Chains A and B, each alone.
Chain A
Amino acid sequence: MTDPTDDAVSESPLAALHEQLGAKMIPFAGWRMPVQYSSIIKEHEAVRTSCGIFDISHMGQFFVEGEGATAWLNGMLSNDLSQLALDEGQYTFLLNPEGGVIDDLIVYRCEEERFFLVVNASKIEEDYDWLNQHLPKGVELANESKFWAAMAVQGPESPQVFAKLFGEEVELPKRNGYAAIDCEGELILVCRTGYTGEDGFEFFSATEMGSEWFQRFIDAGAEPCGLGARDSLRLEVCYPLNGSDLSAQRTPLQAGLGFFCKLDTEFIGRDALLKQKQEGLGERLVAIRYTGKGAPPRAHYLLCDEAGEELSELTSGVLSPTLREGIGMAYVPLTHAAVGTRVQVDVRGRKFPAEIVKKPFYKRA
């Protein structure tokens, strides 16, 4: 029972409110963020059955605009921006020339030639530098991360929570949609996206207004939730965590996310992906589920085949609050990637039987 080393440099603009709400704070990606308020399991269940709210102010916000923005950005990102209608968003990758993942992000089209990007906290600088290095004349790239507080309101009852605050006249954008809303002179951004597998939206306000909004959502029925529940929720639906399930050494094809790489468009990393597609993936990110009770699987635990030979290590793992069984993901050789393949997870020298299962572990009704 020791406290993790506190190497955080940034404080969420909502930090004082979190402390007031009784949150337990931990360092994460250079930030001090709430890991839980009451209980990770309760918070997880609130999102699955009603509504929860997460502070995601650590995430980064970029805007790209100018003539040629669409064409340029489409050459930087793996998905096809030309398919985006106005006020629509898509999940996409920023890849290195080898096809490895620099970051996974969501890009929204706010205007014909203006885009809003939401990127991972730990990658803000790297993404910005990479994009900036390739920036053509006439296109502007702005890192506005400091100016925005961000929160995710998630769960089947999130539309009702939204309606309570905004009434009937302001409509929640449709799935993957984006809306810039003038709220009595205050600009807020609302995106119908999330990281939990439930209906919900992500909400952006001016930094100094963040705590007020967070409290308003709580008063409207959202349960405050921390990074602990965020991790178990996203893993149940097999959403990858960059730095764990995604890395600069592995491609989205190996991660099973080829759908978000439109190989008929030109983008950095495309040639490497085409080559890999032709030569073979070598390994794949698979979903692993315990076949019985056992110690919770966690990232970096060894994964072994049925005979006990080491295969790889887990990239993520948790005792699923919904399934009440151990779940995880790992890159395994294609010979062991088929659904139904029996494997074992090594926890402190004890091996727990598990099998490769179809993704995701959980799908909302």
Chain B
Amino acid sequence: MSIPENYRYTSDHEWISVEGDVATVGITDHAQEELTDIVFVELPDVGRVCDAQEAVAVVESVKAASDIYAPLSGEILEGNEALESDPSLVNTAAHEDGWIFKIRLSDPSQLDSLMDAAAYAAHIGA
């Protein structure tokens, strides 16, 4: 299982990669392993303005639907449309091509409130 050093993490098992004030968000390798068999991803509406912890997307396995939250407040810029035809990218490339959405952060300094790789590793007992 991989936990990239340059990402930030939430306790809901999402990863965040930031460039300027734009964050790319996905679910962690650990999360996709737990869910297995992702069969559907409901992407967030582009332009939606959301608060931190707001449910904006849904990842579905055969057995269950799991909410995906905005890790921080901001505006949704883009959903990963590749997931509409191939949701299993979340399983095969959780930290790269399986990203779920991009969000323009209203306050990038809030990033410091998220876990770094070491803290997330401890969080999942890795």
A residues with a Cβ closer than 8 A to B are 1, 24, 35-36, 38-41, 228, 232, 293-296, 298, 318-319, 321, 348, 350
| 8 extra A-B contacts, CB within 8 A, seeds A39-B37, A40-B61 | A1-B35, A24-B34, A36-B36, A41-B37, A296-B40, A296-B62, A319-B62, A321-B62
Which size class do B's interface residues fall under?
10 to 19
B42 interface residue, CB < 8 Å from A? yes
Which of A24, A35, A41, A295 sits near B60, CB closer than 8 Å? Answer: A295
B66 interface residue, CB < 8 Å from A? yes
Given A39-B37, A295-B42, A296-B40, A228–B62 Cβ distance below 8 Å? yes
Q: Which of A41, A232, A293 is the most central at the interface, judged by chain B CB atoms within 10 Å of its CB?
A: A41
- How near does chain A come to B40, taking the closest CB pair, in angstroms? 5
The reply to whether A1 and B62 contact each other, CB–CB distance below 8 Å, is no
A1 surroundings in chain B (CB, below 8 A):
12-13, 31, 34-35, 66
Q: For B34, give the chain A residue with the smallest CB separation.
A: A1
**Chain B contact residues: helix, strand, loop or mixed:** mixed
A293 surroundings in chain B (CB, below 8 A):
84
The reply to whether A319 and B12 contact each other, CB–CB distance below 8 Å, is no
A228 surroundings in chain B (CB, below 8 A):
62-63
Which of A40, A294, A350 sits near B62, CB closer than 8 Å? Answer: A40
The reply to whether B66 and A232 contact each other, CB–CB distance below 8 Å, is no
Taken together as a complex, chains A and B put the C-alpha atoms of A296 and B63 apart, in Å, by 9
Taken together as a complex, chains A and B put the C-alpha atoms of A41 and B34 apart, in Å, by 14
Taken together as a complex, chains A and B put the C-alpha atoms of A94 and B39 apart, in Å, by 37
- How near does chain A come to B26, taking the closest CB pair, in angstroms? 13
B49 surroundings in chain A (CB, below 8 A):
none
- How near does chain A come to B101, taking the closest CB pair, in angstroms? 16
The reply to whether B13 and A40 contact each other, CB–CB distance below 8 Å, is no
Taken together as a complex, chains A and B put the C-alpha atoms of A295 and B61 apart, in Å, by 10
B65 interface residue, CB < 8 Å from A? yes
B62 surroundings in chain A (CB, below 8 A):
40-41, 228, 232, 296, 318-319, 321
Taken together as a complex, chains A and B put the C-alpha atoms of A24 and B66 apart, in Å, by 17
Q: For B66, give the chain A residue with the smallest CB separation.
A: A1
Q: For A26, give the chain B residue with the smallest CB separation.
A: B63
Give the contacts of B81-124 with A (CB-CB under 8 A).
84
Which of A36, A295, A348 sits near B63, CB closer than 8 Å? Answer: A36
Given A1-B31, A295-B58, A348-B42, A35–B36 Cβ distance below 8 Å? no
Taken together as a complex, chains A and B put the C-alpha atoms of A296 and B87 apart, in Å, by 12
B12 surroundings in chain A (CB, below 8 A):
1
Q: List 12 A-B contacts (CB under 8 A).
A: A1-B35, A1-B66, A35-B63, A36-B63, A39-B37, A40-B61, A295-B58, A295-B65, A296-B65, A298-B65, A319-B60, A319-B62
A319 surroundings in chain B (CB, below 8 A):
39-40, 60, 62
Taken together as a complex, chains A and B put the C-alpha atoms of A40 and B36 apart, in Å, by 8
- How near does chain A come to B85, taking the closest CB pair, in angstroms? 9
Q: For B11, give the chain A residue with the smallest CB separation.
A: A1
